[in-house]
Chain A
Amino acid sequence: MFRNIPSIRLKMMLIVLITSLSALLIASIVLAVYDVRFHRISWAGDLMTQAEMVGRASAPAIVFGDSLTAHQSLALLAVRPEISAAAVYTPDGRPFATFARRPEDAVFPVTVTPSGFRFDHNRLQLFRAIEDPDGIVGTVYLSARYDLAGRLGRYLPVLTAIMLGSLAIVLAMSQSLQASVIRPVLSIARAADQVRQERNFALRVEKETNDETGKLVDAFNAMLAEVAEAERSLLESNRRKDDFLATLAHELRNPLGPIRNATQYLRYKDTHPESRQSLELIDRQVQHMVRLIEDLLDISRITRDALELRLSSFSAADLLRDVVEATQYVVEESELTLRTRNDAGPVTLYADRARLVQVASNIVNNAVKFTPAGGAIDLVLARQRRNLIVTVTDTGIGIPPERLKEIFEPFSQLDRSLEKTRGGLGIGLALSQRLIALHGGTIEARSEGPGRGSAFHIELPIVSDEPIPAPAVAPLPITVTDGHRILVADDNVDGAASLGLLLKAMGHQVTVAHNGAEALEKLDVNGFEAAILDIGMPRINGYDLARMIRARGHKILLVALTGWGQAEDKRRAFDAGFDTHLTKPVQTDQLAHALSVLKERKLREG
């Protein structure tokens, strides 16, 4: 009955009203019944007296056989409207005189009973013996109707007034009394609502009473404290996990730099065809590994909100070409066909080009993993108003409908048993989804079911009206130059050595230092044109070292080399006096590009 009432205040009021009303009704009914019974009996007693009086008045009439006088005495009863019939009986039980209000009332008992009265419903029948000193001289009989309706009619308005008055008072009193019960409950409800909306677990409800509601307030506050603590520790452990992931990725990537450097050095030096083949294989696998680690880093950056987009303008064709370049090898390796089509036309896109390529490549790589040899993958670009639509369709194993959403969760793969053959960390799609979300777009997986292939549908609001600006500087060709004097400082001995070897292979003269002090010392002695400094060195780090070098007035080219590639890291590098910034593992062409400045300087100076 109360379930649908949304307010506890209303409920309490109803409860008070209903209980009070019931109590009042019961009391009123009992009172009315008691009153009616009592009143009826006293009324009967009253009539008995009346009968006695009539009897006394009629006694001489009976005694002296004067029925006329007896009739007259009885007729006096007409003043009592409730009396319908009356009679005087002789001692031997014969009617002596009678009175009837209406002709139909003239019904008189045949036998006389001793003094007393009897109610038949509301009809009273009464006998009263008339006595004189010598005994009973006759009996008066009265028949009267008790006016129950009249009595109740007088009673009901009074009862109603009392009931309404009582209810008003009860309501007024309960209003003020129930506040002490309801207020804590209401404040808990308000606080709960506020906590739910603001997620502010520091909120507390003020305790006003020591009863059950007070306990409720205490329990509620204690629960809030627990939730706050749980959330704090959850956030803390999540943060630690993210930190761990970031550190892990970083530490895993560090050794890859020297490995790549060494491989590339060997490729320059060793021209034996079989060795070259092996070196290319190593290079490819290292690149793959670097990509995996980059994905891992990106995921941790995204979860820490540390990922930034580098927006630029480029064409849809650029995107298509980059994706094909990035995936070509894997596609061919898996004996698949990648078909591309640009239905979007010559549109300009404004987005993070590298990230978009990463997304599309991830999707294609994913398709490659789950498509058997001989299959085909379609990559289609289309335009829908300001949206770029990227669709990747494959003829692979497909996705069961119930898993379509799940596949975008990090570290999830459809079939654990496939892990070994398919490989991967299970973060490619998750990362793609986050990157797309960063661009304000959506990704959706569609599949007609297992064995019927799958389709990934990406919508990105990145179509721009601006024409693509012409590149400011034409990229320099990667050539072996005259060679510069370069200092490499890295506490990682292998890293420094491999970079040194690579630079030497490119024709430079390289000196290696393994800490800041050594680097400074060598700089002061020899005239270098450039210094490539690792940031994460013990005691004197790369930033400090750069400041010291600048403080000593060296105007050489300073290149920062770091495992961290964030905008913040770059800003710090430039603040410290670096000219340029490279992220490990460094690519030969990036290195060459960075050092090309030296050639320009030489030309200008020369």
Chain B
Amino acid sequence: MRGRTARWGTGLALLCLTLPLAPRDAVAQESASVLEVRLKAAFLYKFAGYVEWPVGTAQEPLRFGIIGDDEVARVLSHLVRDRGAGARPVEVVRMRAFEPLPPLHVLFIGRSESDRLPSLIRTTRGQPVLVVTDTEGALASGSMINFKVVGGHMRFDVGLGSAKRSGLTLSSRLLSVAQVVSTRTP
């Protein structure tokens, strides 16, 4: 079991280190975007390890909801399937806008749903859901982690105020890796 987790971890790390994402040619550009998706999926999964949900939600299967980025949802499902039997059960739910939100731990709103970002986030208000976005300036709309690419590396900003308001605790170790940590609450 441990061997399998290690292998999985190794795969994940490999993803991290296949950066930079800077495109050099068409083929590279295509593979760069593939890489970006895989990194986002991996990061998404890893974020869960640095978040504490309120008591009572820990035993449930860790449920990821993904809107507006089917590629990330696909890769994440793939990643999760390969995990060991001892790990916490994980569910990946692909959703569309206007659908009522099922109980979630993590909600990822892809770039294609950037326009409806504020209203989507609003629907999670009062629930302990980690909102991860891929849109510049999303923190102001109440996003808790927002992906960005810096110097060809995948990075992210953290909206600590929004997380706190939703009853989530983000590990300081996560913050140490964040590009920007915003404590303002929108």
Given A92-B14, A134-B49, A135-B5, also A65-B173 (CB < 8 A): no
A536 at the interface (CB under 8 A from B): no
B53 at the interface (CB under 8 A from A): no
- Cβ B17 vs Cβ A64 within 8 A: no
Q: In the docked arrangement, what's the CA distance between A56 and B173, Å?
A: 8
Q: In the docked arrangement, what's the CA distance between A516 and B49, Å?
A: 153
B28 at the interface (CB under 8 A from A): no
Interface size on B, residues (CB 8 A): 29
- Cβ B17 vs Cβ A60 within 8 A: no
> A interface, by DSSP: helix, strand, loop or mixed?
mixed
B176 at the interface (CB under 8 A from A): yes
Q: In the docked arrangement, what's the CA distance between A63 and B43, Å?
A: 8
Contact of A92 (CB < 8 Å), options: B5, B13, B155? B13
Contact of A64 (CB < 8 Å), options: B2, B5, B16? B16
B74 at the interface (CB under 8 A from A): no
Question: Chain A residues near B9 (CB, 8 Å)?
Answer: 91, 132, 134-137
Contact of A63 (CB < 8 Å), options: B6, B8, B16? B16
Question: Chain A residues near B17 (CB, 8 Å)?
Answer: 65, 90, 94, 96
A69 at the interface (CB under 8 A from B): yes
CB distance from B145 to the nearest CB of A (A): 11
Given A62-B13, A90-B13, A134-B87, also A69-B8 (CB < 8 A): no
Question: Chain B residues near A380 (CB, 8 Å)?
Answer: none
- Cβ A59 vs Cβ B16 within 8 A: no
- Cβ A59 vs Cβ B43 within 8 A: no
- Cβ A60 vs Cβ B87 within 8 A: no
B33 at the interface (CB under 8 A from A): no
Question: Chain B residues near A138 (CB, 8 Å)?
Answer: 13
Q: In the docked arrangement, what's the CA distance between A135 and B46, Å?
A: 12
- Cβ B176 vs Cβ A60 within 8 A: yes
> Nearest A residue to B15 by beta-carbon distance?
A65
Q: In the docked arrangement, what's the CA distance between A57 and B174, Å?
A: 10
- Residues 174-203 of chain A, each 1 if its beta carbon lies under 8 Å from chain B, else 0: 000000000000000000000000000000
Question: Chain B residues near A63 (CB, 8 Å)?
Answer: 12-13, 16, 46, 49, 177
A518 at the interface (CB under 8 A from B): no
B153 at the interface (CB under 8 A from A): yes
Q: Which bracket fits the contact residues of A? A: 20 to 34
Question: Chain A residues near B39 (CB, 8 Å)?
Answer: 65
> B interface, by DSSP: helix, strand, loop or mixed?
helix
CB distance from A568 to the nearest CB of B (A): 127
CB distance from B146 to the nearest CB of A (A): 14
CB distance from B1 to the nearest CB of A (A): 10
> Nearest A residue to B174 by beta-carbon distance?
A60
A61 at the interface (CB under 8 A from B): yes
- Residues 335-358 of chain A, each 1 if its beta carbon lies under 8 Å from chain B, else 0: 000000000000000000000000
Given A62-B13, A92-B13, also A132-B49 (CB < 8 A): yes
- Residues 401-421 of chain A, each 1 if its beta carbon lies under 8 Å from chain B, else 0: 000000000000000000000
Q: In the docked arrangement, what's the CA distance between A138 and B174, Å?
A: 16
- Residues 289-332 of chain A, each 1 if its beta carbon lies under 8 Å from chain B, else 0: 00000000000000000000000000000000000000000000
CB distance from A71 to the nearest CB of B (A): 12
A133 at the interface (CB under 8 A from B): yes
- Cβ A66 vs Cβ B2 within 8 A: no
B180 at the interface (CB under 8 A from A): no
Interface residues of B in 62-90 (CB under 8 A from A): 83, 87-88
Contact surface of B with A, Cβ cutoff 8 Å:
2, 5-6, 8-10, 12-14, 16-17, 19, 39, 43, 46, 49-50, 83, 87-88, 153-156, 171, 173-174, 176-177
Contact surface of A with B, Cβ cutoff 8 Å:
56-57, 59-66, 69, 90-92, 94, 96, 132-138
28 pairs from A and B in contact (CB 8 Å cutoff): A56-B173, A57-B173, A60-B177, A61-B176, A61-B177, A62-B16, A63-B12, A63-B16, A64-B16, A64-B43, A64-B46, A64-B156, A64-B177, A65-B17, A65-B39, A91-B9, A91-B13, A92-B10, A92-B14, A94-B17, A132-B9, A134-B8, A134-B49, A134-B83, A134-B87, A135-B6, A135-B8, A137-B13
